Amino acid sequence: MAYNEETVLRIRKSLALFPETFEEKKMFGGIAFLYKGKMTVGPVKDDLMVRVVHEKMEEILEKEFVRPMDFTGKPMKEFVFVSPKGFATEEQLYKWVELGLEHAKSKL
């Protein structure tokens, strides 16, 4: 499965704004960005995959351009897809990365 290279570059730029260190790992046919071994965000085709803490899932799923991640044919727990219009600006992308980082830290 292909992923959008421009999205990868944008994610890398966004991650550089955080004091935390992230690693890249090939997953889901794309690249996932991990914090201390925990997934945060990554591109899947043209979408952005984001991990979301359970307590915020309902609120996040109500946002425009967001849908459950159904990579396996059914929704995956604490994962969402964001379509490109939902992370069109760097500020929007940063907020999604921040949300993914929050999820990773909650699992440590």
Quick: pLDDT tens for 56-100: 999 999 999 999 998 778 889 999 999 999 999 999 999 999 999
Q: Which domain holds residue 42?
A: 5-106
Q: Can you tell me whether residue 66 is helix, strand or coil?
A: strand
Token pair 């309902």 is at which residue? 58
Residue 7's identity, in one-letter code, is: T
7: β partners = none
According to DSSP H, which parts of the chain are helical?
5-15, 57-61, 90-106
Q: Is the pTM for the entire model greater than 0.85?
A: yes
Q: Say what the pLDDT of residue 1 is.
A: 52
d(Cα 29, Cα 93) in Å, to the nearest integer? Answer: 21
Tally of domains within the chain: 1
Q: Say what the pLDDT of residue 89 is.
A: 98
The domain that holds 101 is classified in CATH as 3.30.1460.30
Residues 28-51: what's their mean pLDDT?
Answer: 93
